[in-house]
Amino acid sequence: MNINSDNPLLNWDNRPPFDQLEPSQVVSGIDTMLKECESALQKLESSNPATWDELVPPLEKIEDFMSRTWGVVSHLNSVKNSPELREAYESAQPKVVAFGNRFGQSRPIYDAYCRLGDSEAWDTFDSGQKRIIEKSIQGAILSGVSLDGAEKERFNEISERLAQLTTKFSNNVLDATKAYELLLTKKEQLAGLPESYIQMAAETAVRLGHENATVADGPWAITLDYPSYVPFMKNSPHRNLREQIYNAYVTRASEGELRNQEIAEEILKLKMEKANLLGYKNHAELSLSQKMAGSVEAVDKLLKDLKEAATPAGKRDVADLAAIAKEHGAPEADDLKQWDVFYWSEKLRESKFDINEEELRAFFPFERVLDGMFDLVRRIFDIQVVAADGDVPVWHEDVRYFRVLNEAGKDIAAFYLDPFSRPSEKRGGAWAFPAVQRSSLFAGEGEDVRIPVAYMCCNQSPPVGDTPSLMNLREVETLFHEFGHDLQHMLTEVDRGMNSGLAMIEWDAIEIASQFMENWIYHKPTLKGLSGHYQTGEPLSDEMLDKIIAARSFRSGHSMLRQVNFGRFDMELHARHKPGSEDLLNIQERIFEDTLIMPPTEGDMFYCAFSHIFAGGYSAGYFSYKWSEVLSADAFSAFTEVGLENEEAVKDVGMRYRKTILAQGGSQHPMDVYKEFRGREPSIEPLLRQDGLI
Q: At how many degrees (to 10) do helices 261-277 and 149-179 cross?
A: 150
- Do 487 and 253 touch, CB atoms closer than 8 A? no
pLDDT in tens, 266-281: 999 999 999 999 999 9
Given a contact cutoff of 8 angstroms between Cβ atoms, the answer to whether 585 and 530 are in contact is no
Judged against a pLDDT cut of 80, whether residue 77 lies above it is answered with yes
**pLDDT score recorded for residue 122:** 97
137, 110 Cβ separation under 8 angstroms: yes
In degrees and rounded to multiples of 5, residue 603 shows phi and psi of: 90, 0
Q: What does the alpha-carbon distance between residue 10 and residue 33 come to, in Å, rounded to a whole number? A: 7
127-182 confidence digits (pLDDT tens): 999 999 999 999 999 999 999 999 999 999 999 999 999 999 999 999 999 999 99
My answer on whether omega of the bond before 462 falls inside 30° of 0, hence cis, is: no
* pLDDT score recorded for residue 2: 62
Which CA distances in Å does 491 have to 61, 123, 440, 505, 654?
22, 28, 15, 15, 13
The 10 Å CB-count burial string (b at 16+, else e) for 235-250 is bbebeebbeebbbbbb
Task: Identify any residues that bridge with 182 across adjacent strands, giving them in sequence order.
Answer: 222
The helix/strand/coil state of 420 is: strand
Residue 220 has a pLDDT of 98
- DSSP structure class, residue 160: H
pLDDT tens for 581-608 read 999 999 999 999 999 999 888 899 999 9
Report the pLDDT value the prediction gives residue 634, as an integer from 0 to 100. Answer: 96
Q: Name the band, by pLDDT with cuts 50, 70 and 90, for residue 356.
A: confident
Cα gap 95→66, rounded to integer Å: 12
HSE-up of residue 568 (Cα within 13 Å, Cβ side): 24
Angle (CA) 181 187 189, round 5°: 55
Residues 6+ apart with CB under 8 A from 620: 283, 284, 286, 287, 288, 570, 571, 574, 575, 613
Kindly list the catalytic residues.
482
| Contacts of 690 by beta carbon, 8 Å cutoff, 6+ apart | 519, 552, 553, 633, 636
Q: Which amino acid is at 520?
A: W
CA distance 381 to 566: 34
Mean pLDDT of 300-307: 96
- Taking the C-alpha atoms of residue 309 and residue 556, their distance in angstroms, rounded to an integer, is 11
* 481-496 pLDDT, tens digit each: 999 999 999 999 999 9
Quickly state the pLDDT bin for 650 (edges 50, 70, 90). Answer: very high
Cβ count within 10 A of residue 71: 17
Alpha helices in 180-295 (DSSP H): 195-207, 226-235, 239-249, 261-277, 283-288
Mean pLDDT score, 245-258:
97
**pLDDT classification of 264: cutoffs 50, 70, 90:** very high
SS3 182: strand
Kindly tell me if the per-residue pLDDT of 98 is higher than 80: yes
pLDDT at 3 over 80: no
pLDDT reported for residue 600: 85
DSSP states along 499-531? GSTTTT--GGGTTHHHHHHHGGGGSHHHHHHH-
**Would the pLDDT of 694 be above 90?**
no
Each residue of 221-230: pLDDT tens digit? Answer: 999 999 999 9
- Alpha-carbon gap, residue 628 to 590, rounded angstroms: 26
- Measured CA to CA, the distance from residue 79 to residue 681 in angstroms comes to 39
**Averaged pLDDT of the chain:** 96
Using only C-alpha atoms, what is the Rg of the chain? 25
Using CA atoms, how far apart are residues 12 and 393, in angstroms rounded to an integer?
12
Q: What angle do CA 253, 273, 589 make, to 5 degrees?
A: 40
Relative orientation angle of helices 239-249 and 338-353, to the nearest 10 degrees? 120
DSSP state of 660: I
pTM of the entire structure? 0.93
User: How far is C-alpha 600 from the geometric centre of its chain's CA atoms?
Assistant: 25
- Report the C-alpha gap between 673 and 666 in whole angstroms: 9
pLDDT digits (tens, 9 = 90+) for 508-567: 999 999 999 999 999 999 999 999 999 999 999 999 999 999 999 999 999 999 999 999
In percent, the amount of the chain with pLDDT more than 90 equals 95
Domain 364-553's class? Answer: mainly alpha
All structural domains of the chain with their residue ranges? 180-251, 364-553
pLDDT of residue 1 exceeding 80: no
